[in-house]
């Protein structure tokens, strides 16, 4: 069982991440689960040690034992790497406050894993998806709403949470949209005429008053639109178009980045547009572009 002192420390660390780093709710939930699982393992593994001392004198062998136990119960290398990252974050934070040396934990290497490449749509498929989602509802305003949301995902590279986080204050859409992304980070995103027109058409047809404070995109009863509804309408559209299951709302953002890169877009500029904290995250799209280039080469080259 985790000691009361460590439970309190974990709660304070999560509050710190929430207040100062602006961590998202689902991120905090994952961190809480990861660190709680680790502390629970240590409490059983080293029953004779309690409280902060459990982490202050932690040998590398105990970290290896925890990782081995996680792998044995079916945890993937990718998930375990995330869990270790959370454990390092918590331990480093606690070490600064309690004055112990966390070097052993902080220098522990996580399992290697192959990073999944984004699965973008082709340009034709992206355009077809935008058109098709607008045909899924018998109500014109709902069709216009769905089309406007998906157009923003592809045309501006927004996350679904960012698109649905817009309020009536954003209309009419300006030439440049100010977006608050993950961790409360702010970025400026140019708005294409097609995106501006799609949102304007939705606003024209929407039966609900468009106040500055209310959600821009509404559900059938007037409340904020549930992101699951966009996922469902895209699922229907992809089945009709014969697209793979990877044709999700987030795939539209992947498509935005990949198509910009293919057209010669600067990697740093794309990083800014996507709101990535690290360039290494954006560089994933160069692997996608290279993989697609090799596929075309193998199909088209006469000696291939």
CATH code at 292? 1.10.443.10
Higher pLDDT, 67 or 282: 67
7 a catalytic residue:
no
Task: Confirm if 195 and 175 have CB atoms less than 8 A apart.
Answer: no
The answer to whether position 118 is within a domain reads no
The answer to whether position 161 is within a domain reads yes
182 a catalytic residue:
yes
| Model pLDDT, residue 78 | 81
Q: How many folded domains does the chain comprise?
A: 2
Distances, alpha carbon 42 to alpha carbons 12, 49, 64, in Å:
20, 9, 11
The answer to whether position 132 is within a domain reads yes
CATH number at residue 57: 1.10.150.130
User: Taking residues 45-67, what's their average pLDDT?
Assistant: 79
User: Taking residues 195-199, what's their average pLDDT?
Assistant: 92
Q: Which of 106, 140, 159 is the last residue of a domain?
A: 106
**Pick the catalytic residue: 159, 196, 238, 254?**
159
**Pick the catalytic residue: 18, 46, 187, 250?**
250
Does the pLDDT of residue 159 top 90, yes or no?
Answer: no
Question: Do 282 and 135 share a domain, yes or no?
Answer: yes
The answer to whether position 114 is within a domain reads no
Residues near 83 by beta carbon (within 8 Å), at least 6 away in sequence: 34, 37, 38, 70, 75
**Pick the catalytic residue: 145, 196, 253, 254?**
253
Domain with 55 in it: 4-106
By percentage, how much of the chain surpasses pLDDT 70? 79
User: Taking residues 84-113, what's their average pLDDT?
Assistant: 85
Question: Do 132 and 266 share a domain, yes or no?
Answer: yes
Question: Do 287 and 260 share a domain, yes or no?
Answer: yes
The answer to whether position 53 is within a domain reads yes
276 a catalytic residue:
yes
Question: Do 138 and 67 share a domain, yes or no?
Answer: no
**Pick the catalytic residue: 46, 82, 119, 182?**
182
The answer to whether position 112 is within a domain reads no
Question: Do 194 and 52 share a domain, yes or no?
Answer: no
Question: Do 65 and 161 share a domain, yes or no?
Answer: no
159 a catalytic residue:
yes
| Model pLDDT, residue 115 | 58
Task: Confirm if 237 and 134 have CB atoms less than 8 A apart.
Answer: no
Higher pLDDT, 5 or 266: 5
Packed helices 249-262 and 123-133: angle between N→C axes, nearest 10 degrees: 140
- Pick from 23-32, 76-85, 130-139, 258-267: least confident: 258-267
**DSSP SS3 for 178:** strand
User: Taking residues 257-283, what's their average pLDDT?
Assistant: 60
Residue 81: burial class (beta carbons within 10 Å; 0-12, 13-18, 19+)? middle
The answer to whether position 304 is within a domain reads no
Does the pLDDT of residue 49 top 70, yes or no?
Answer: no
The answer to whether position 259 is within a domain reads yes
236 a catalytic residue:
no
Separation of first and last alpha carbons in the chain: 61
Question: Do 130 and 99 share a domain, yes or no?
Answer: no
250 a catalytic residue:
yes
Question: Do 96 and 173 share a domain, yes or no?
Answer: no
| Model pLDDT, residue 77 | 82
């Amino acid at each position: 069982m985790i000691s009361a002192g460590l439970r309190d420390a974990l709660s304070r660390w999560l509050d710190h991440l929430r207040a100062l780093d602006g961590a998202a709710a689902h991120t905090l939930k994952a961190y809480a689960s990861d660190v709680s699982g680790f502390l629970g393992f240590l409490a059983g593994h080293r029953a004779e040690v309690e409280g902060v001392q459990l982490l202050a004198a932690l040998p590398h062998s105990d970290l290896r034992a925890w990782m081995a136990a996680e792998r044995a119960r079916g945890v993937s290398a990718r998930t375990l790497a995330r869990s270790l990252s959370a454990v390092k974050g918590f331990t480093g934070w606690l070490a600064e406050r309690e004055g112990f040396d966390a070097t052993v934990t902080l220098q522990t290497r996580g399992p290697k894993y192959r990073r999944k490449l984004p699965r973008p749509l082709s340009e034709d498929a992206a355009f077809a998806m935008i058109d098709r989602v607008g045909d899924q509802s018998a109500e014109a305003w709902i069709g216009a709403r769905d089309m406007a949301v998906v157009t923003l995902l592809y045309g501006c590279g927004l996350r679904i949470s960012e698109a649905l986080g817009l309020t009536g204050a954003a209309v009419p859409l300006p030439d440049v949209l100010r977006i608050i992304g993950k961790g409360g980070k702010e970025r400026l995103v140019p708005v294409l005429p097609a995106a501006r027109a799609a949102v304007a058409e939705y606003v024209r047809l929407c039966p609900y008053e468009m106040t500055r404070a209310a959600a821009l995109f509404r559900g059938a009863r007037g409340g904020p639109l549930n992101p699951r509804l966009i996922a469902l309408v895209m699922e229907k559209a992809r089945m009709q178009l014969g697209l793979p299951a990877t044709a999700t709302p987030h795939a539209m953002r992947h498509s935005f980045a990949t198509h910009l890169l293919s057209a010669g877009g600067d990697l740093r500029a794309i990083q800014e547009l996507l709101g990535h904290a690290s360039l290494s995250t954006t560089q994933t799209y160069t692997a996608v572009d290279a993989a697609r280039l090799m596929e075309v080469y193998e199909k088209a080259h006469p000696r291939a």
